[in-house]
Amino acid sequence: MRRTITALATLLVVTSLFAGVATAQETRSGDTVVIEEGETVDGDLTAFAGTVVVQGTVDGDLEAFGGDVLVEGEVTGDVEAFAGNVRVTGDVAGGVEAAAGNVVIAEGASVGSLSAAGGNVAVEGRVTGDVDAAAGSVTLGPAAVVEGDLTYGGELNRHPDSEVGGTITEESPGAPTPIGEVPTPPAWLGQLYWNVVNLVLGVILLAVLPRFSDGVATTARTEPVKSAGVGLLALVGIPIALVLVAITVVGIPLSIAGGFVFALLLWVASVYGRFAVGTWLLSLVDAENRWAALVVGLLAVLVVGLVPFLGGLVELLVFLLGLGALSLALYGRYGDRRSRSSRSNGTTATR
């Protein structure tokens, strides 16, 4: 009964945490997020991806964070984009606020207004409102139409056939151009997203490696000082070892590969640290459930992490605990294999 109550309470907390986001807007993430041609997203859309492409319709606002953001279809609201490249070839009924290396309103495209900061800003289509641009170069192509005012900072390259209905004002280099509010995700959204990703990784680890995961949590709970110490040594020592390996030409590829493996190890360790905390918390009420422990640990560290200074210290300790316990478990697994291999070789030699 106690385990059932614990599981239900955990489920209730997680459900309440996600409910507000689900009803407020749609969020998509991945390597590539594509709104296909003919597809309509009803309401606001937030997208995190390497490439965000809108070929269909977003019936609301679009917030996009990625390497490339391409609006080829229609957005009925505003577009806020933070990316390497932002390109609009379709229609945006509202304003476009973009911070990017390159911002392009292509020929044939139409946007309500444009506030942009980037290396290069090019307007080749129609802007029915004002344009505020701060960039190394601001370009108005031959088909560009700006029905409102143009305020720019940087070098202006204007084609004689381009049209500007309002005034043209150059901002002095010392005064920042009013480009609007740079689109940044809310802090709670970033924390929620990262914890969901950690939850997914934790579920995979517990499902694929249940006994190993339990062993890591047990080591962290029964030997916390040793685990944290080993975690600190691993955090400092492994990067030094990778640098030493990279000194030789042959070692450079190995060092790069080792860096990726080390980054993955750190991520897994952070999840295992939270899992160990959740296991410890459930043990205080004599409950055992690895799935509930994972969720409880994630939520506990998330809540404590909101406390200034103390939260950061606790997160560091939990991370070191997970890294050390994981390192000890991996070393133990390696030692067991060597021992079995030695016994097997000894038996073969005897025969």
pLDDT computed for residue 333 by the predictor = 78
Whole-model pTM: value is 0.47
Under 8 Å between Cβ of 81 and 99: yes
Q: How many CB atoms lie within 10 A of CB 16?
A: 9
Please count the CA atoms within 13 angstroms of the CA of 257 that sit on its side-chain side. Answer: 5
Under 8 Å between Cβ of 120 and 107: no
Buried b (16+ CB within 10 A) or exposed e, 115-146: bbbbebbbbbbbbbbbbbbbbeebbbbebbbb
pLDDT computed for residue 252 by the predictor = 67
- Name the nearest CA neighbour of 210 among 143, 158, 160, 279: 279
Structure tokens at 318: 């939990």
Write out the E strands in the chain.
26-35, 40-42, 45-54, 57-59, 62-71, 74-75, 79-88, 91-105, 110-123, 126-127, 131-140, 145-146, 150-158, 163-164, 168-170
The per-residue pLDDT for range 189-203, each reduced to its tens digit, is 666 777 888 899 999
> Each residue's pLDDT tens digit in the chain (351 positions)?
344 333 433 333 333 333 333 333 688 876 788 999 999 999 999 887 778 999 999 999 998 877 789 999 999 999 998 777 899 999 999 999 988 778 999 999 999 999 988 788 999 999 999 999 988 889 999 999 999 999 998 889 999 999 999 999 987 544 444 444 445 555 556 667 778 888 999 999 999 999 999 999 999 989 999 998 998 998 888 888 877 776 665 566 777 777 788 888 899 999 999 999 999 999 888 888 989 999 999 998 888 877 777 778 888 899 999 999 999 988 887 666 666 666 666 555 555
Q: Residue 266: left (phi > 0), alpha (psi -120 to 50), or beta?
A: alpha
pLDDT computed for residue 339 by the predictor = 64
What is the Cα–Cα distance from 11 to 105, expressed in whole angstroms? 46
Instruction: Name the residue type at position 280.
Output: W
